[in-house]
A and B are shown apart, each in its own frame.
Chain A
């Protein structure tokens, strides 16, 4: 992917990759992608499912974080499929690789977290419904409009609800107390 990183205020339609998925190839994910291959083949996707963990024989097999973020910044949709049947909220995927990079997050239902809600800041549906939802978002005008609205709302909520400066300011006195002689 040689396209330059898009501007911060880029449009949904300007992003060259339709969909990005990054995650270990568990059995559950293998089944999902096997069943969704035909639908996803209609779009420009990047599926990264490194086998054998992060390293094999000392050689990295997973994307390094900078590459993953670069791909996310060029993607319309960051897709998340749970590793197992446990519906966690994988912060590093949904927030760090998705909302923070201004991609629309589409996922299976996740555990709730403060300030970010399904339907408002990301889209969630059952695994069996994901292919239809992705098709609607990527190939219809109303779908693209909803995607645009949600990803912008999500980024604004993230900046508002998770203000790093305020968090650090609240932590700093405790840190200074701990290191003081």
Chain B
């Protein structure tokens, strides 16, 4: 598998303004991508966990997706104190809310790193997460590496337990967004797709990877924490019955090989 050819920028759906920038965004092997929408309560813990990663030259790109609260100001304040701890750091802002897929595309388009790490703004990395995922990709031809996750907050448990298995994906998602992805793989499938209902960006991306012959490798230990809370998209919007029906129809149209049914879809881990 060759990963050297450049792909075109993914569609971000609109322009973004730069709120903060420091360092050299072309340095470092890994760009950590954090889409931000109204998670002011959680963003500092999330960013602290990126700063605490084992020795690694990281870029950090935060994209505020036009959220209503003070999350962007909190992220800016954090970057002004800690931004120099990265090879390069940026805070971008969409002028209006474009959704998580567009925010991720905006972030990936402004990095030049070989790998991009997808981190939602309410989750937390354990210190060896990026380095262990990077080792897994360096040691394989996989397009992305995903760790097991600890579920915390309003529920307790573990997730992302399954090995890569396209046949299982046909029935529903079981791999969360939190993953290290080869930037060229991301670009070659056109990046994240904006769905008609918020959510399932990760599921849709894995399906495109299947269709391109790409595969993922599980890093078989718990390396990050997945927060369950009432305000998450999955709970507040995606899992409403009428929205689930729309998403299932949309996914089947985009990927006719899927065998999704409503009960299976409701049990999905996808965000």
Contacts and interface: CB of A to CB of B under 8 A. Distances in A.
B144 to A, nearest CB: 19
Given A30-B158, A34-B152, A42-B128, 15 more contacts: A30-B157, A34-B156, A34-B158, A34-B222, A37-B126, A37-B148, A41-B128, A41-B129, A45-B221, A46-B220, A46-B221, A50-B163, A51-B161, A59-B165, A61-B165
Given A30-B157, A30-B158, A59-B165, A41 B222 contact: yes
A37 B222 contact: yes
Contacts of B150: 33-34, 37
Interface in A26-74: 30-31, 33-38, 40-42, 44-51, 56-57, 59, 61
B10 to A, nearest CB: 31
A108 B212 CA distance: 45
Interface of A: 2, 25, 30-31, 33-38, 40-42, 44-51, 56-57, 59, 61
Among B152, B165, B221, chain A packs the most CB atoms within 10 A around the CB of B221
Contacts of B225: 37
Contacts of B148: 33, 37, 47
A127 to B, nearest CB: 14
B187 interface: no
Contacts, number: 70
B242 interface: no
A34 B126 contact: no
Nearest to A56: B168
Interface in B119-155: 126-129, 139, 148, 150-152
Nearest to A19: B221
Contact of A48 (B152, B156, B220, B223): B220
Interface of B: 126-129, 139, 148, 150-152, 156-158, 161-163, 165, 167-168, 171, 174, 220-223, 225
Contacts of B163: 50, 61
A45 B218 CA distance: 12
Contacts of A36: 222
A33 B220 CA distance: 12
Contact of B220 (A2, A37, A45, A59): A45
A49 B158 CA distance: 10
B221 A51 contact: no
Nearest to B168: A56
A41 B126 CA distance: 7
B50 to A, nearest CB: 15
Contacts of A46: 220-221
A17 B74 CA distance: 40
Contacts of B165: 59, 61
A33 B162 contact: no
Nearest to A41: B126
Nearest to B161: A49
Nearest to B220: A46
Nearest to B127: A41
A41 B223 contact: yes
Contact of A59 (B126, B151, B168): B168
A11 B168 CA distance: 40
Contacts of A61: 162-163, 165, 168
A41 B162 CA distance: 18
B127 A34 contact: no
12 contacts: A31-B157, A33-B150, A34-B151, A34-B156, A34-B222, A37-B158, A37-B222, A41-B127, A42-B128, A45-B221, A46-B220, A57-B171
B199 to A, nearest CB: 21
A59 B222 contact: no
B249 to A, nearest CB: 22
A61 B225 CA distance: 24
Contacts of A56: 167-168
Given A41-B126, A45-B221, A46-B221, A51 B158 contact: no
Contact of A31 (B129, B156, B223): B156
Contacts of B158: 25, 30, 33-34, 37, 49
